[in-house]
Amino acid sequence: METRSQLNETNPQTGSQPVGEKLTCDLHLDRVRAASWQILLAAQVRSGSTENSLLLQFAEQLEDACWLAHWKREDVVMSLDIAMVPELISQLLTIQSEQQGADQEIVADMLSKLAHR
> Does 90 fall in a domain?
yes
> Does 5 fall in a domain?
no
> Does 108 fall in a domain?
yes
Amino acid at 16: S
DSSP designation for 20 = T
Q: Please say whether the beta carbons of 95 and 107 come within 8 A.
A: yes
pLDDT of residue 37: 93
> Does 91 fall in a domain?
yes
> Does 1 fall in a domain?
no
pLDDT of residue 1: 45
> Does 9 fall in a domain?
no
Alpha helices in 48-100 (DSSP H): 53-72, 85-98
Q: Give the separation between CA 64 and CA 37, rounded to whole angstroms.
A: 13
Considering only the C-alpha atoms of the chain, give the largest distance between any 2 of them, rounded to a whole number of Å: 50
Measured between alpha carbons, how far apart are the two ends of the chain, in Å? 4
pLDDT of residue 7: 38
pLDDT of residue 20: 64
**Domain around 94:** 24-115
If one counts the domains in the chain, the total is: 1
pTM (predicted TM-score): 0.72
> Does 6 fall in a domain?
no
> Does 50 fall in a domain?
yes
- Mean pLDDT by groups of 10 residues along the chain of 117 residues: 41 51 87 92 80 84 90 88 92 86 90 87
